[in-house]
Structure 1
């Protein structure tokens, strides 16, 4: 356990914390002194995650439930209060993927991702904020975004919509919660997870982590790509009193890199007397805005030869 215990006496909920990034967040919060409500849809996984925290000297209980419904949100807040007497921190990490290009994506593919990521964040934050406000707790809301929500990504209509929506909600909540002393922020992690293991570009980085070896510096520095453990300290920081003045922000972290994402701003502005008619747009749009059109998707630098993925076995 941490000798500093910056979160001693605090109680946190971390959704989707049975494994991966969520478990790293829960363990770091516990290491800093917080009691943690661990959540996963799989009861055995949730119990094992909670046990790993208590075995290390922390405090944790498990709640097995699918995030999305108001009932689950209420159950998570109730578990925090009933087991530890209060709630101070909510981390909304639960998520699923159903990646398909637009014409192959079904209604169910879209709905399940939106339900867990976007609706699950909304219902859990609404319930936690109601508790904070009623009990005069200067709580901390930490949501999890994604570079896909910031930049878009092929085959992820549902995921991009959910993650962009989460950041939009965070900006609104920062306004609504300010008077109550509650902060709301989004973390944009870039880390080796089950979701990135299948991406050939990250093959060498994932292989290094699985072997317990340091990731090549190209990934950690050039790409800002690291481990779940690289992301967790930012979550704990945002949960602490040290971040009391940080709210409404989208903060990226991965490997050795920390980033503050900008909010959308107009990059070019032009005026036309009487408004913009069709003919004027045809004549002037390209000369006014053509060179300033914004890029989409992430652009990665070329991998060095020694880090190129190995060809798939036939």
Structure 2
């Protein structure tokens, strides 16, 4: 996959998945602007990319407001002359059940994930439309945004909103040749370690150095950062020119296309529905096969 001549910005690129994305893009030939909030992480990431033969620059900024977004775009243009790819990966967690979640817990996560994606994508879209040569917006979502997850009201809401923005922007930017897709990654990182269902397996793999079990890589789609990064490289490339408005999952050995929400069951009543009529017909009608919710806990196969 050849990304020579392309310039990418990766938010939250100082560690974890973001650093994996930056390294994969640089390895494919793209110049990469790495963004994170910690100067030491940005510096280390830039040094790593350059030591591996890549071209890289760094920006220390907390995404969320317009000024930070414009700083990232300007850095790409100043250092490398253009902007072709934006990967909105920056994120934080403030997990807590609904009745204990504070306003600050909610606002902080939504600001970084949802507002940060919005402001960075807007600044990138302006630049890409001015260049007139198309571009790629790769927005990082999560299984929590697709299914919900216990204790993650703020995170799930933000990640669901990111997928909705991808679908909307795919329409709005189509004429400019800018594709917009949401990636739903699952990988063994510091952030996924906070998910109780995955933590024991990640910890065990790190203690022993052994790979994650095959059933976990295939059935649950949980693998390494490198497993996920390949999709980012594909979506940044010319090979993905016809792919837009999609939510694409990847992790371990698993690559998946997430369905968009749609009506699953429909019933009609002449003149409209009364509450009594809905109650009478619910179990055998529209509600006969209710949807599941939440991320299923990993279940190891029986020996």
Normalising TM by the smaller chain, what interval?
Answer: over 0.9
Q: TM-score normalised to the size of structure 1?
A: 0.93
Are 2:93 and 2:155, in contact at CA under 8 Å, matched by a contact in 1? yes
C-alpha separation between the residues in 1 aligned to 2:208 and 2:247? 32
Partners of 2:216 and 2:298 within 8 A in 1: no
- Deviation at 1:292? 1.7
Please point out which of 12, 18, 37 is paired with 2:14. Answer: 18
Deviation at 1:80, TM superposition (A): 0.1
User: How many aligned residue pairs are there?
Assistant: 302
CA drift of 1:304 comes to 4.8
Q: CA deviation at 1:302?
A: 2.2
Deviation string, structure 1 residues 159-203 (Cα, Å, up to 9, x no partner): 010000000000000000111110000010011110122445332
Q: What residue ranges of structure 2 are gaps of 5+ in the alignment?
A: none
Counterpart selection for 2:118 from 99, 118, 122:
122
- Equivalent of 1:222 in 215, 219, 222: 219
Inter-partner Cα distance in structure 2 for 1:271 and 1:201:
41
Matches within 5 A, 1:1-314: 6-202=2-198, 203-209=200-206, 211-304=208-301
* Alpha-carbon contact 2:193-2:202 (below 8 Å) kept: no
The Cα offsets for residues 261-297 of structure 1, whole Å up to 9 and x where unpaired, read as 0100100011100011122112222221232211111
TM-score by length of 2: 0.96
- 2: CA distance, partners of 1:285 / 1:99: 34
Deviations 1:50-95 (A, max 9, x none): 1100011101111000010100000000000000011000000000
How much does 1:221 deviate? 1.2
Supply the RMSD in Å over aligned alpha carbons. 1.4
Q: 1:157 to 1:200 in 2, by over 3 A?
A: closer
Distance, in Å, in 1 between the alignment partners of 2:193 and 2:253 is 20
Answer whether contact 2:114 2:161 (CA < 8 A) is retained: yes
Secondary structure of the residue aligned to 2:154 is helix
SS state at 1:49 partner: helix
User: Gaps (5+ residues) in structure 1?
Assistant: 307-314
* 2:137–2:178 CA contact under 8 A, matched in 1: yes
CA distance in 1, matches of 2:291, 2:302: 30
Aligned residue for 2:25, secondary structure, equals: helix
Give the stretch that moved more between structures: 65-74 or 291-300.
291-300
Cα 1:199–1:129 change in 2 (3 A) is closer
Q: 1:219: how far off?
A: 1.1
Cα distance in structure 1, aligned partners of 2:197 and 2:296: 12
